[in-house]
Amino acid sequence: MVMLNYFSIRSQKKYGRVRYCFFRYIILICLCAFVLPVQATTGKSQVITLNISQGNITDIFKEIEKQSDYHFFYNDEQIDTDKQVKINVFSSSIEDVLKQLFKGTNITYKVVDRSYIVLTNKYFKNISPNPGQKGKRITGRVVDPTDSPLIGVNVVVEGTTSGTITDQNGQYSLENVPDNANLLFSYVGYLPRTIKTGNETLLNVILEEDTKRLDEVVVVGYGTQKRINLTGAVQNITSQDLIKRNVGNTSTALQGLIPGVSVVQSSGRPGADGGNITIRGTGSLNSSTSPLILIDGVEGDINNVDMNAIESVSILKDAASASIYGSRASNGVVLVTTKRARGEGVKVSYNGYVGLNTPTSMPDPVNAIEYMDAVNVARANADMDPQYSEDILNIYRTQGADNINYYDTDWRKAVIKNTALVHNHSVSLSGGSKMFHVFANGGYFYQDGQISNNTYSRMTLRLNTDARLTKWLKVGLDVNIRQSKATNPCLDSPESIINKALTFTPVFSGVNNDGSWGFGQNGDNPIAVSKVAGVATGVTPELGIKGFVLLQPFKGFEALASYSSRKVEYKSDSFINPYDTYENGVFKTTYPANGNSKYEGWSQTITNQFNAQASYETNILRNYLKILAGMQTEELTNRGFSASRKGFEFEGFEELNHGDISTASNAGTRNEWAMMSYFARVNYAFADRYLLELNGRWDASSRFMKGHRWGFFPSFSVGWRISEESFFLPAKKWVDNLKIRASYGTLGNQDIILGGNPVYFPYAASIASGYGYWFDKKEGTGVAQTQVANEKISWEKSTQFNAGIDAALLNSRLSVNFDYYIRNINNMLQQFPIPMYVGLSSPWENAGSMRNNGWDLSVSWRDRIGNVGYHITGNLSDVKNEVTNLYGNEYIDTQIIREGLPLRSWYGYVSDGYFQTQEEIDASPVYGGNKENVKPGYIRYKDISGPDGKPDGEINDYDRTVIGNPYARYEFSLNLGAEWKGFDFTVFLQGVGKRDILYTEAGARPFYVGRTIFKNQLDYWTPENRNAEFPLLLIDGSGNNPNNIVSDFWIKSGAYLRMKNMVVGYTLPKKILSKLHIDNLRIYASAQNLFTICSAYKGYDPENSVDRGSFYPVMQTFTFGVDIRF
């Protein structure tokens, strides 16, 4: 299928119009939504065949542009575009065609750069409207921000018909320009500029590229569409937007770029620091809330694609845009399109950076003396004897810790690195001939973690090839190879090691003064665990292959078939190597006591996908119609096995074979899943201003029983381009484009995920093995049913209404997009909390509904002051969630799911400061009812209700209420950029307006089950410090003291504003580079997460998921990089 997009950009001025015509071929090369925008240069013949008996000259230009890579540039004041001509050439060169075409006319032509044809009228040059008035001669050069000459830029004197166009060097010359005239420079794809001449005779001008071009084509489901014709809420991002961020993965780079798309990076762990993407709020209770991510039409991991290989990312936010993906698209769709080669010749580029990571913030644990003092205070507060005698404290004060008899271990310093290396390299090669194109990208990314033996590296190789075999047949083969490797200490997770490094008490032994390992907490020594206790290595090879065949037998019709196979393996390998611990000079224990052990695991997931689709489009008079229909099958097979042994006698021999055979153990699993789908779409447009789109998709999933499998997901959307109406003409001066649109549709969800793992047979009461008992001291193979079954489950559905407005104003310098939506999720697939006495985990049910409604706003401004170009983009969005129907059920825990409340609201007691005196305690109800257990300095709770709905003088279950919302509201970002003489500067601010974070256990409380205390937690209540941040200091042995129940006391605002990214770059002048045969060379430095304003607990990053204190800090990153293109 070939879509012909003809568009003309008119300058807004009365005179000196430039007619510009340009054909762009969009070639759908993949049925499964993988679409390749190809410039007109691609795969076009340089020989022309024309047989036109009667037509005006612009028709001929169009036809030539269609057949070839040539573009015409001319001033339509100089060329009689209505001139009727006839021409008949066969397989002729462009020179021959032009010669024939302009024979006997005043038009001269020049072919520039092999593809631009500049036309001028030799008798029509630079005519002044008032020949009598003398002006001066103005010359200059028009370039783009990278100093490349712009050819064919229209230059006119405002208010006159006097004008010219630039030549192949971007040079122009205008005679008889009056003083203080305004020169208007306009060029397709670039923002027009008006410049006052003043006294200057030399005017060099830089034109800014118009990134919000109306002619922009965006990738949509199974195809592409012109932005102006979009009726749904679709937004896209280009490669540059992503690469500029210099982060290790694409999901994090998306953060803040699109309103309504929330990306939270809750961990900084190498290889696991990708952002969690949600589009327009949490879309499901228990099934997946992640958008469908398609990489060239095939489901994949967005973080495993080299950003340099990405052409664009489209986000389909509303149901109408997404519903062509039906069942998979309930949470929106992210379409990643990788680059393909275009044109002839070879282009090579390299982009690489090296940087340093450092945690954004970390809690600051106390030293030994501070710790012991605080412990004694806490014990005194509970009428307990001091734990550390004055004698011991004196020894520490006078002699200090010798780390053999008395310890003062700085666990944080010993475990957590201050800085860690990160570097990234990406080489792209793009080349081709008329028949064949290849794009290749190889990337390598390496990130060192903040603790020892914690690294991540990724190698990627992508090969996208296209071959046009005949005029009507095109084939292609894409290969994607990836290998990621992650290493972690194998005895404990990095998060847990970091948690221990922050919370282990300083009086535990870490490293003895003779260099031996300390006993830590009963042998658990995070320093030794991270450094010597063994490494777990996970290697993830991935191979993806896709082939396609594209048929274009006649105009407007296109058929495409593709088949892809993606194989992802995970090979894990770990060897636990126990270490000996000593304390006070005495051997304590070998940790872990079970001895050494080896584990190897392997799993493989193969996903095969077949697509076939056909489309036809036609223009009849002012009607445009396009019909698309297709089908898709997808099947997944997952297999895995693992094996382990213990008792390895000989150091260095760590293969399974070397272990004690009697300890051999192994396991294996298999799962399958399949889907089958049919889809269709109709687009209709009348007079380019009334737009209609209908979508339908039928989906069946193996996740449901026969009879419950099929779901139908329809949608429609409409748009009205008001700016194209004749009555709008007076407003055109300010408003270039104005469109309103609305959509409504239904989507499905079957992607049930539990604990991060897909559930493939949610309807089945399966009986699993692995529940053995040790009769006669030998393990048997016991089986058990562990979940209640429900064979009736079917699709979770969401309906979404979306209304939006798109506007471009003031020469497209200002653009505004606004969307409002209501998203209702019905028949939610959920595991409703069931009584514990059922003894099985909850069945899946289609029950209940909830609603997300919200809005997305994006405003951007782009202009140039003198040599400085600048742009500002602001995004703001909000989503409000409400659980609307749970059939009277509710789920109460730390988080509550109840009708009428936002999903998973924090639920607990309401604090009311501290009890300041015993009298206050005597006069107030206390939690648990036992006033013996409460003292001044304890948190006081409000008695807000009772059995009769009124305060009852007791603090009990009735006094629990909603105390916060864990989900972000008012997410915003501000992107500021400027360019000046090759320098570019970007500042990216991002934040959240409202969010509540609950900190629990070791994440919030000093001395939580034997852990230490942070410096900021020393601000505790005493009679002298009654407004302390923390309550009366207590040893929190089991977390049962009344201060520790869930209350709003432990909730902090998660609102923040952060300097997410700052980049300074410099692009070397072309003059220097051209001598070196370099097209472009840019060097840059960037900083990620430079600063953050927030009010979370000190030491915690508001984006980090800290909760119980186990987390991997989010990183501040400083990078230096180079981008070079040949």
Partner 1 sequence: MLAGCSDFLDKTSSDYSSSGFYQSEAAIKSGAEGVYNYLYMELGYAIPFNISLDHYTGMAFERNENTTVGAGGGLNPDNNEVKTFWNKLYIVIARANSVIYGSKEYIDGLGDNARQYLAEVKVLRAFAYYNLIATYGDVPFFTDPVTIEQYKETRVSREDILDFILTDLEESASALPWIATSRGRVDKAVAYGLKARAALLGGSLNYRGQGTDYFRISAEAAGKVIGQRSLAQSFDDLFNITGQAKADVRNEMLWELMYSDQGIKKTHVVAFGQVSRNTGQTGRHPSMLLADTYECIDGKRIDESSLYDPRYPQKNRDPRFHSTLWMHGDTATVNNGNLVRQIINAYDIEAQFYDFSSNAWYLANNADINSSAAWASFCNAGVGYIWAKFSNETAENISAQSCNIPIMRYAEVLLTYAEAKIELNELDNTVYDAINQVRNRVAMPDVSADRIGNQDKMRQLVRRERKVEFALEGLHHVDMRRWGIGDLENGQPTYGLPLPEIGYEGLTSTDIPNFKTSERTDLNDIPNYDAYKSKLKVRDRNRFWNKKFELWPVPQLERDRNPNLSQNEGY
In the region spanning residues 688 to 747, those forming contacts with partner 1, defined by CB under 8 A, are 698, 700-702, 706, 709-710
Q: Which of 419, 537, 590, 884 binds partner 1 (CB under 8 A)?
A: 590
Q: Which is nearer to partner 1, 583 or 856 (CB)?
A: 583
Sign of the CA dihedral running 530, 531, 533, 536: positive
Closest approach, Cβ 888 to partner 1, in A, equals 10
**Token pair listed for 500:** 């221990």
Q: Are 980 and 1064 in contact (CB under 8 A)?
A: no
Q: For partner 1, give the closer residue by CB, 638 or 1053.
A: 638
Strand arrangement of the beta sheet that strand 182-186 belongs to: 163-165, 154-157, 182-186, 193-196
Within 329-388, which residues bind partner 1 (CB under 8 A)? 375, 382-384, 387-388
Rounded CA separation 918/915 (Å)? 8
- Of residues 395 and 479, the one with the C-beta less far from partner 1: 395
CB 230, min distance to partner 1, A:
31
**Sheet containing strand 71-75, strands side by side:** 18-21, 71-75, 116-121, 107-112
**Residues of this chain, 504-533, that bind partner 1 according to CB under 8 A:** 505, 507-509, 519, 521-523
Q: Closest CB to partner 1 among 289 and 381?
A: 381
SS3 162: coil
Is the Cβ of residue 198 or residue 1037 nearer to partner 1 in the bound state?
1037
Of residues 1020 through 1059, those in contact with partner 1 by CB under 8 A are 1035, 1037-1038, 1040-1041, 1045
Of residues 755-784, those binding partner 1 (CB under 8 A): 760-761, 764-769, 771-784
Give the residue with the Cβ less far from partner 1, 172 or 941: 941
Beta carbon nearer to partner 1, 113 or 383? 383
**Which positions ≥6 away from 699 have C-beta within 8 Å?**
326, 327, 328, 675, 676, 677, 710, 711, 712, 713, 748, 750, 795
Q: Which is nearer to partner 1, 592 or 1102 (CB)?
A: 592
Give the residue, chosen from 587, 653, 686, 983, that forms a contact with partner 1 under the rule CB under 8 A. 587
Residues in region 903-962 near partner 1 by CB under 8 A:
928, 930, 932-933, 957
Q: Contacting partner 1 (CB under 8 A), which of 106, 194, 240, 669? A: 669
Q: Are 554 and 605 in contact (CB under 8 A)?
A: no
Binding window for partner 1 (CB under 8 A); candidates: 441-449, 502-510, 723-731, 1073-1081: 502-510
Structure tokens at 841: 């985990």
The answer to whether 283 and 798 have CB atoms below 8 angstroms apart is yes
Q: Does 838 bind partner 1 (CB under 8 A)?
A: yes
CA dist., res. 891 & res. 904, Å (int): 9
CB 465 within 8 A of CB 477: yes
The least CB distance from residue 1112 to partner 1, in Å, is: 24
Distances 100 to 36, 86, 93, 108, 397 between C-alpha atoms, Å: 35, 10, 11, 12, 100
Q: Count CB atoms within 10 A of the CB of residue 156.
A: 27
Asked whether 487 and 495 are in contact (CB, 8 A), the reply is no
Q: Which candidate, 267, 231, 230, 232, places its Cα nearest to that of 251?
A: 267
Of 152, 494, 592, 630, the residue at the interface with partner 1 (CB under 8 A) is: 592
Q: Kindly state whether residue 662 participates in binding partner 1, applying the rule CB under 8 A.
A: yes
- The burial of 1122, by beta-carbon neighbours within 10 Å (0-12 exposed, 13-18 middle, 19 or more buried), is given as middle
Pick the closer one to partner 1 by CB: 1037 or 1069: 1037
For residues 30-69, which are near partner 1 according to CB under 8 A?
Answer: none
Shortest Cβ 673–partner 1 spacing (Å): 6
| Site stretch for partner 1 (CB under 8 A), options 827-835, 858-866, 871-879, 939-947 | 827-835
Taking the least distance from each CB to partner 1, the nearer of 276 and 885 is: 885
Size of the site for partner 1 (CB under 8 A): 101
The dihedral through the CA atoms of 1090, 1093, 1098, 1103 has a sign that is negative
Give the distance between the most distant pair of CA atoms in the chain. 116
How many CB atoms are closer than 10 A to CB 742? Answer: 18
Q: Which is nearer to partner 1, 317 or 935 (CB)?
A: 935
Residue matched to tokens 């409340």: 901
- Kindly state the smallest distance separating residue 314's Cβ from partner 1, in Å: 29
Least distance (Å) between residue 837 CB and partner 1 = 5
Using CB under 8 A as the binding rule, whether residue 657 contacts partner 1 is answered as: no
Q: Which is nearer to partner 1, 180 or 662 (CB)?
A: 662
CA distance to 417, 820, 1108, per residue, from 1100 (Å): 17, 34, 12
Q: Nearest approach, Cβ of 797 to partner 1 (angstroms)?
A: 19
Give the one residue of 132, 755, 835, 866 binding partner 1; rule: CB under 8 A: 835
Q: Distance between the two ends of the chain, CA-based, in angstroms?
A: 33
Cα–Cα–Cα angle for 828, 834, 839, nearest 5°? 130
Question: Least distance (Å) from partner 1 to the CB of residue 662?
Answer: 5
Query: Rounded to the nearest whole angstrom, what is the least distance from the CB of residue 845 to partner 1 in the complex?
Result: 9
* E strand intervals along 942-1055: 961-964, 969-980, 983-994, 996-998, 1051-1053
- Out of 95, 390, 893, 922, point to the residue binding partner 1 (CB under 8 A): 893
Dist CA 903 CA 906 (whole Å): 9
The residue range among 197-205, 329-337, 525-533, 887-895 that interacts with partner 1, by the rule CB under 8 A, is: 887-895
**Dist. CA 340–CA 1056, nearest whole Å:** 39
Closest CB to partner 1 among residues 296, 845: 845
Residue among 82, 652, 837, 923 that touches partner 1 (CB under 8 A) = 837
Q: How far is CA 17 from CA 12, 401, 755, 972, in A?
A: 8, 84, 62, 40
Looking at the Cβ atoms of 199 and 781, the one nearer to partner 1 is 781
Give the nearest distance from C-beta 870 to partner 1 in angstroms: 55
Q: For the segment 419-478, give every residue that binds partner 1 (CB under 8 A).
A: none
| 891 backbone φψ class: left, alpha, beta (φ>0; ψ -120 to 50) | beta
- Of 54 and 662, which CB lies nearer to partner 1 in the complex structure? 662
Among the listed residues 72, 407, 445, 1008, the single contact to partner 1 using CB under 8 A = 407
User: Which strand (E) or helix (H) includes residue 809?
Assistant: strand 796-809
662 or 726: CB nearest partner 1 = 662
Rounded least distance, CB 782 to partner 1, Å = 3
Q: In terms of CB distance, is 836 or 865 closer to partner 1?
A: 836
Site string for partner 1, 611-650 (x = CB under 8 A): ----------------------x-x--------x-x----
Compose the 975-1014 pattern: x for residues touching partner 1 by CB under 8 A, - for all others.
-----------------------------------x----
Rank residues 585 and 1069 by Cβ distance to partner 1 and give the closer one: 585
Spatial separation of the C-alpha atoms in residues 331 and 325, rounded to whole Å: 11
The answer to whether 852 and 823 have CB atoms below 8 angstroms apart is: yes
Q: Which tokens go with 630?
A: 């297709």
Neighbour tally for 103: CB within 10 Å: 8
Beta carbon of residue 850, minimum distance to partner 1 (angstroms, whole number): 20
Q: Exposed (0-12), middle (13-18) or buried (19+): which is 159, by Cβ within 10 Å?
A: middle
Shortest distance, position 776 Cβ to partner 1, whole Å: 5
The CA distance from 759 to 455, in Å, is 30
Least distance in angstroms from the C-beta of 767 to partner 1: 4
